[in-house]
Structure 1
Amino acid sequence: MQLQRIHHVAIIATDYERSKEFYTEVLGLRVIAEHYRAERRSYKLDLALPDGGQLELFSFPSPPPRPSRPEAAGLRHLAFAVADVEAALAELRGRGVAVEEIRVDEYTGKRFAFFADPDDLPIELYEV
């Protein structure tokens, strides 16, 4: 087996329309497909990432809460590469998104910062 790249990341939203707007309008991801699955009372939205990867956004009735603190067991955070973290944060602030201060990776010297999606999922912007 030879892994090539991450194909997709799946996220379950508590408010599908609010999260759909966040990922498409605020983050600018392009919709590939959207399906309503009546038997599950669930939406599945496929979003394109610039590198060919995908983000899948799901809705389910009454999903159980999950801790989102960065040190909770499980997926720690979602990270996107950006050319200029400061410019990206300014754009997010302009769209009303609260962002954390820029930090510097102690091992690589690269700049990064965090913000959260509508369900408080931590998202990182990492300068490459």
Structure 2
Amino acid sequence: MKIDHIALYTTDIEKLKVFYEHYFKAKAGEKYTNAKKHFQSYFLSFSEGSRIEIMQKMGIPPHALEEETLGLTHLAIAVGDKATVDTLTEQLREDGYRIVGEPRITGDGYYESVVLDPDGNRIEITI
């Protein structure tokens, strides 16, 4: 078994798509639109592993994701090496994204940083 994809609702599907394409080299599939349900989505694929489905639908209430909560708390995206973690973290900082975890070695041996995506989702950038 494997995790095929995770899904995120957003209020700005195009902005979120560009974020993952630009910073994490995601490739967006064709946009799916269901006019009757006021729903649209993209599947974002990476060079390997699971996909992210980003979705937009009228009437979905926002919730605060900047704080850690029960349930799904972050996505971890492996970028290959420590230098890329550092470089990408600095690029995101310079571009105005909020870094909520500076690059570091965690207690369980991961090297990672944590950034908030445009919707406030916690993204771990790791090796």
What's 1:18 paired with? 15
Q: In the alignment, what sits opposite 2:117?
A: 117
Structure 1 stretches of 5 or more lacking a match? Answer: none
Return closer, same or farther for 1:48/1:7 CA change in 2, 3 Å cut-off: same
2:53 alignment partner in structure 1: 56
Q: Give the structure 2 partner of residue 87 of structure 1.
A: 87
The 10-residue stretch of structure 1 (24-33 or 37-46) with the greater mean CA deviation from structure 2: 24-33
Code of the residue aligned with 2:4 in structure 1: it is: H
The one-letter amino acid of 1:58's match is M
Partner of 2:102: 101
1:69 is displaced (CA, Å) by 4.3
TM-score (norm 1): 0.83
How many angstroms apart in 2 are the aligned matches of 1:98 and 1:69? Answer: 10
Pairwise mapping of residues 18-37 of structure 1 onto structure 2 (< 5 A)?
Answer: 18-37=15-34
Aligned-residue offset at 1:65: 2.0
Unmatched 5+ stretches in structure 2: none
Q: Sequence identity, in percent?
A: 28
Aligned to 2:63: 66
Normalization by structure 2: what TM-score?
Answer: 0.83
Structure 1 match to 2:42: 45
TM-superposed CA distance for 1:94, in Å, is 4.7
Residues of 2 paired with 1:105 and 1:70: CA distance? Answer: 19
Equivalenced residue count is 123
Runs in 1 of length 4+ with deviation above 4 angstroms?
A: none
How far 1:53 moved relative to its partner? 2.1
